[in-house]
Amino acid sequence: MHAFHIHYRNTQGTLMRILTAVSRRGLEIPYVVASASGHGHRADLLLDVNAKQIGQLCRDWHAIVDVIDVRVGVPTPEMLESATGFSGPHPPASANASGRSAAAMA
């Protein structure tokens, strides 16, 4: 596992461009956190990738107009723990007696 830290300007679609660079390679994203950081935003990702994919991803991310900087590092224990800490699915609530859903069904 490798940790990636991408500093970016939070403009329309930039986070999605960062993520589609991963998804187009069929990779899963076990951990991703995006948050404000300094003057921009920062996305932290944990990915299971080989050396060639690291190079490709870093170059593709850097080519995104609003990405400012890309760094690769060792995952923190918190990232590794979060990556395995799923607590089960949360499907949308089914219609029931509550007012809004009942009105929608009517």
Partner 1 sequence: MLKGAEIFLKCLRAEGVDLVFGYPGGAIMPLYDALEGSGVRHILTRHEQGAIFAAEGHARATGQVGVAIATSGPGATNLVTGIADAKMDSVPLVCITGQVRSALIGTDAFQETDVFGLTLSLTKWSRLVRSIDEIPQVIAEGFYWAREGRPGPVVIDIPTDFLKAKMEFSGPVKFSPKPRPSDTKADSTFADRLITLLQTAQKPVALVGAGAKLSGAISELRSLLDELNIPTFATVHGLGAVAPDAPYYLGMVGMHGTRAANMALHENDLLLVFGARLDDRVTGDPSRFAPNSKIVHFEIDPAQLDRVRQCELPIIGDLAQTIPSFARKVRGAKLPDWSAWRTVACGEDRAELDPRGLSQPTIRFLDELFGRAPKNSVILADVGQHQMWAAQRYCSDLPRGFITSGGLGSMGFALPAAVGVQLSKPDATVVCVSGDGGFQMNIQELATVRRLNLPIKMVIIDNKYLGMVRQWQQLFYQRNYAETDLSDNPDFVEISKAYRINAVRINEDVMREYPVTSETADALEKFLRSSEPELLVFDCAPEANVYPMVPAGAALSEMLFEEE
Q: Which of 48, 69, 78, 81 binds partner 1 (CB under 8 A)?
A: 69
Looking at residue 85, its amino acid is G
Angle between helices 51-63 and 14-23 (to 10 degrees): 150
* Smallest distance, partner 1 to C-beta of residue 81, A: 30
Q: Binding to partner 1 by residue 50, rule CB under 8 A?
A: no
Q: For residues 41 and 83, which CB has a smaller minimum distance to partner 1 in the complex?
A: 41
Q: Which of 25, 29, 33, 55 binds partner 1 (CB under 8 A)?
A: 55
* Smallest distance, partner 1 to C-beta of residue 23, A: 9
Point out which span in 29-37, 68-76, 78-86, 92-100 binds partner 1 (CB under 8 A). Answer: 68-76
Cα 36 from Cα 53, distance rounded (Å)? 27
The per-residue b/e assignment along 72-105, b for 16 or more CB within 10 angstroms, e otherwise, is eeebeeebbebbeeeeeeeeeeeeeeeeeeeeee
Q: For residues 10 and 82, which CB has a smaller minimum distance to partner 1 in the complex?
A: 10
Cα 46 from Cα 3, distance rounded (Å)? 5
* Smallest distance, partner 1 to C-beta of residue 13, A: 5
